Amino acid sequence: MYTIYCVRLVHILSIAVWFGPKLLVPAEVRRAIGAGDGAMTSAVRGINLVQKVTIAASMVTLASGLGMIFLFGGFGAVPTRIHIGFGMTLAIFGVGAFGVDKAWKRIREAVTAGRPEADLETLARRLSHLMTVENALWLAVLVLMVFPLGQR
């Protein structure tokens, strides 16, 4: 009887873990670039960990969302806003895999290669822009999931 509430709880917890830690990443990268080599190496270690945790949380969000759809009786039984939210979540995965992860890989490689601070700053700006796109999509999905838009 409480299954749907438990799955919804897991869903909401996982979206918080998916996006919460990432909000601090651009500021941490900027701070570490300004503070020099040692700070950047330690920031890379911390942000790699954030990346692992948030990828796992994104999988839990997807699984719990699909789980709820299944519990409600399938895609036909849930409103259009959930379909759109699902589609936009796939778009977030796309921006993550082909944008943010690649931008972060470039920063790591630049740190290892000892590239100058100005280059790192350019790469950090790109990372920050891509993460803002992710955050904007995330916020839009949150609104779609919470407000019964288009429903009575």
Position 63 contacts ligand HEM (CB under 6 A) = no
Nearer to ligand HEM, 32 or 85 (CB): 85
Position 13 contacts ligand HEM (CB under 6 A) = no
Position 11 contacts ligand HEM (CB under 6 A) = yes
Position 104 contacts ligand HEM (CB under 6 A) = no
Nearer to ligand HEM, 66 or 95 (CB): 66
Q: What is the largest CA-CA distance in the chain?
A: 59
Exactly one of 43, 85, 96, 124 binds ligand HEM (CB under 6 A); that residue is 85
Helical H runs in the chain?
Answer: 3-19, 25-35, 37-72, 80-95, 101-112, 117-146
Q: CB burial class (10 A; 0-12, 13-18, 19+) of residue 11?
A: buried
Exactly one of 17, 69, 84, 133 binds ligand HEM (CB under 6 A); that residue is 69
Task: Report, in angstroms and rounded to the nearest whole number, the Rg of the chain calculated over CA atoms.
Answer: 18
Three-state secondary-structure class, residue 116: coil
- Rounded to a whole number of angstroms, the minimum distance from the CB of residue 51 to ligand HEM is 17
